[in-house]
């Protein structure tokens, strides 16, 4: 398993604890494209979850990741 997949699996339980999950839709020039689903998909705080949570963790742990975008 690569570093990106391992890191997403590290993050996933926190989303699932709130009734949500994420789907990786690809990576383009260091930008990870994720879709939040379940309770996270309709949550008004989902953009904060992407930037303050997921993006921070991915940019710290995965070389080459520069940003996370909702897709």
The DSSP bridge partners found for residue 22 are 36
pTM above 0.85, yes or no: yes
pLDDT tens for each residue of 60-69: 999 999 999 9
pLDDT at 43: 86
pLDDT tens for each residue of 16-56: 999 999 999 999 999 999 999 999 888 888 888 888 899 99
* Domain architecture of the chain: domains with CATH: 3-70 (3.30.300.130)
Residue 46, sorted as left (phi over 0), alpha (psi -120 to 50) or beta, turns out to be alpha
pLDDT at 42: 86
pLDDT at 1: 56
């Amino acid at each position: 398993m690569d570093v990106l997949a391992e890191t997403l699996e590290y993050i996933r339980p926190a989303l699932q604890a709130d009734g949500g999950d994420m789907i990786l839709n690809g990576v383009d020039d260091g930008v990870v494209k994720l879709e939040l689903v379940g309770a996270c998909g309709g949550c008004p705080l989902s953009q904060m979850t992407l930037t303050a949570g997921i993006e921070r963790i991915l940019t710290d742990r995965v070389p080459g990741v520069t940003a996370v975008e909702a897709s």
